[in-house]
Amino acid sequence: MQIILDVDEAWSLMTIIVSQMIDRAGLSSDGKGQLRKWRSARANGTAEMADMTVALNEALGSSLDEKTARLIRQKGYYVSTRSE
């Protein structure tokens, strides 16, 4: 399976996660302010958001690759590998 998010999708996901953290994580006012500042620095269309999208896609791909079953051919037969 392959999942690749574009910048708009990554931005939407990031804003939802940060909003939930601000609303429900029981953070101090200072912590909430720092999260808002961090989110503002990654506004849609910024270079920071583009970099975050690349990093997010790499992390998703690595995580999915680790959990994917593979068949490897060894000396005429196939061996199933699975990392969990």
Is the CB of residue 53 less than 8 Å from the CB of residue 45? no
Mean pLDDT of 6-19: 95
Paired strand residues for 70: 81
* pLDDT of amino acid 84: 45
For all residues of the chain together, what is the average pLDDT? 85
28 residue type, one letter:
S
Distances (CA, A) of 28 to 31, 32, 55: 5, 6, 28
Global pTM reads 0.70
Q: With 80 as the cut, is the pLDDT of residue 42 above it?
A: yes
